[in-house]
């Protein structure tokens, strides 16, 4: 089994594995864990690099299904091969988050993550924080297919978002009267 002793564990039976290429990715990847904390979804989170620690990444990704992980989320910047490399080691759904870490402002990571060859999919989100948040929500939607309570929480979250927009529209209307 992969050595993930430093992984942040929110529960003894994590459903999602969150990986990032470097600790410099953490401020972005915390947007993923915030979503899971909010919905009460257990996860584990650690650093592993496709380029700097390929064997560690291989062990963690290859052993994920055996540990009961249902979905893997991978965020990386630069020539971001992390999500694709993980996808090559497992048939679990892999969600990729391109991170802005170079003068190319994440476009490099976006293309490296999204342009997978046919046969080995990576569900690629937007660059940066929005992508990380959506990765958390997308993973939650997958888990909600077999979890009615979680499905209800997702509906409530959408309703709360709509209520916020109504509130903002009202504020603007009031200010302009
Ligand atoms: C990628 O290189 C990491 O995912 C990170 O986004 C980027 C820079 O890594 P550090 O040099 O900050 O460790 O592999």
Q: What pLDDT, in 10s, does the model give residues 118-147?
A: 999 999 999 999 999 999 999 999 999 999
pTM score: 0.92
Q: Which domain holds residue 153?
A: 149-177
Same domain, 116 and 162: no
Query: Which of 32, 101, 105, 131 is the best mutation target for the ligand 1 pocket, counting ligand atoms within 8 Å of the beta carbon and taking the most?
Result: 101
Chain CA centroid to CA 63, Å: 18
Residue pair 114/96 in contact by the 8 Å Cβ criterion: yes
Q: What pLDDT, in 10s, does the model give residues 75-111?
A: 999 999 999 999 999 999 999 999 999 999 999 999 9
Same domain, 89 and 71: yes
Minimum CA distance residue for ligand 1 atom 5: 77
Domain count, the chain: 2
Q: How far is the CA of 108 from the centre of ligand 1 (A)?
A: 12
Q: Quote the CA–CA distance of 99 and 23 in Å, as a whole number.
A: 12
**Ligand 1 neighbourhood includes 25 CB (under 6 angstroms):** yes
Same domain, 69 and 97: yes
Q: Quote the CA–CA distance of 132 and 80 in Å, as a whole number.
A: 15
Same domain, 141 and 171: no
Q: What pLDDT, in 10s, does the model give residues 5-49?
A: 555 554 459 999 999 999 999 999 999 999 999 999 999 999 999
CATH number, position 101 = 3.40.50.1970
């Amino acid at each position: 089994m992969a050595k993930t002793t430093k992984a942040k564990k929110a529960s003894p039976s994590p459903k999602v594995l969150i990986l990032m290429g470097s600790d410099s990715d953490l401020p972005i990847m915390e947007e993923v864990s915030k979503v899971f904390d909010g919905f009460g979804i257990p996860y584990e989170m650690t650093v592993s690099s496709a380029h700097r620690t390929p064997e560690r990444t291989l062990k963690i990704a290859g052993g994920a299904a055996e540990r009961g992980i249902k979905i893997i989320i991978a965020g990386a910047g630069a020539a971001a091969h992390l999500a694709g490399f993980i996808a090559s080691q497992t048939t679990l759904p892999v969600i990729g988050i391109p991170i802005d870490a170079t003068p190319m402002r994440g476009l490099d990571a976006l293309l490296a993550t999204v342009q997978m060859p046919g046969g080995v999919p990576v569900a690629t989100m937007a660059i940066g924080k929005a992508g990380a948040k959506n990765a958390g929500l997308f993973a939650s939607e997958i888990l909600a297919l077999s979890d009615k309570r979680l499905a209800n929480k997702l509906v409530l979250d959408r309703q709360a978002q709509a209520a916020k927009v109504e509130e903002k529209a009202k504020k603007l209307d009031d200010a302009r009267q």
